[in-house]
Amino acid sequence: MIVDGVFSGGGIKGFAYVGALQVLEERGIQFSRVAGTSAGAILAAFIAAGYNAQELEEVFDELNLNVLLDPPKICIGMPFLKWVNLYVRFGMYRGKTLEKWFYQKLASKGIYSFGDLPEGSLKLLASDLTNGRIVVLPDDLKNYGINARTFPISHALRMSCGLPFFYEPVYLKNGTSESVIVDGGVLSNFPLWIFDNGNQKRPILGLKLSSANEEMAPREIDNGIQLFEALFATMQNAHDNRYIARRHEKDIIFIPVEKFSATQFDIDEETKHKLMSIGKERTIQFLKTWSPIW
């Protein structure tokens, strides 16, 4: 079966996607077009570049996540200065090492820019804070006077994964103006709507790093930190939850990984494989009853 796939954001919890993809491949389900936000954008881009589930497992197994945390050189030896960088440059880490890693892994498949892929096969989400709007990459690059076909996918991924306050924002220049671009999950963490636009060509399969709404308990908000977490989570999901109706839910694999942290960069091997196992188990369960109608 050929489907269009949409992957939600979720940071480090994205390891669960590898287990899900293994099951989908075993059942002969392949992706024609893919889209995603943040961690989901990484999976979407790697799938579009030609990585299979086994290769993705090897790529992520060998990855030392802590290497992707690159504070400014001035902070080396003085870690407390990263908080100064947070104030001055709006992020504790630069994100340059992360983008370099994206570039290297895509280059190993001969993929560099959106022009190296079939047109429309990959769509990534970012958030333009300056103009208060969702940015679909590469489609919306024309609004910034940028040639989409030559735009590096690694840079688009860096934009989609720019978790606010964690990584420094990316700046897009358009003439004399400049836009501050951050993680796509700020405005749309699960862009299932992206292929459901009146031009649907095949079944759409969504993979979401959370339980279904009816399975989730209300949030506890007893202090300022919990308030901020709830505020950010609501901001991420309110737009998408309003869109996802019952007719969409039957085409979504909900992967319950709420108890894991999205920014646990010191994740151990046991936790990686636990996440993969959850993704695999939920996908097997989902496929037992899935009968796509479109």
Active site residues: 38, 183
Whether 179 contacts 199, CB under 8 Å: no
DSSP state letter for 113: B
Sequence-distant (≥ 6) Cβ neighbours of residue 254 within 8 angstroms: 208, 210, 211, 212, 215, 282
Whether 232 contacts 262, CB under 8 Å: no
Instruction: Kindly report the backbone phi and psi dihedral angles of residue 78, in degrees, each rounded to the nearest multiple of 5, phi listed first.
Output: -135, 70
Distance separating alpha carbons of residues 137 and 151, to the nearest angstrom? 9
Residue 186 three-state SS:
helix
Distance separating alpha carbons of residues 35 and 194, to the nearest angstrom? 8
Whether 122 contacts 44, CB under 8 Å: yes
CA distances from 133 to 90, 100, 178 (A): 19, 27, 14
Query: What are the CB-based long-range contacts (under 8 Å, 24+) for 48-55?
Result: 48/111, 48/117, 48/121, 48/122, 49/105, 49/106, 49/109, 49/111, 49/117, 49/153, 50/109, 50/111, 51/109, 52/21, 52/25, 53/18, 53/21, 53/22, 53/24, 53/25, 54/22
Distance separating alpha carbons of residues 230 and 222, to the nearest angstrom? 11
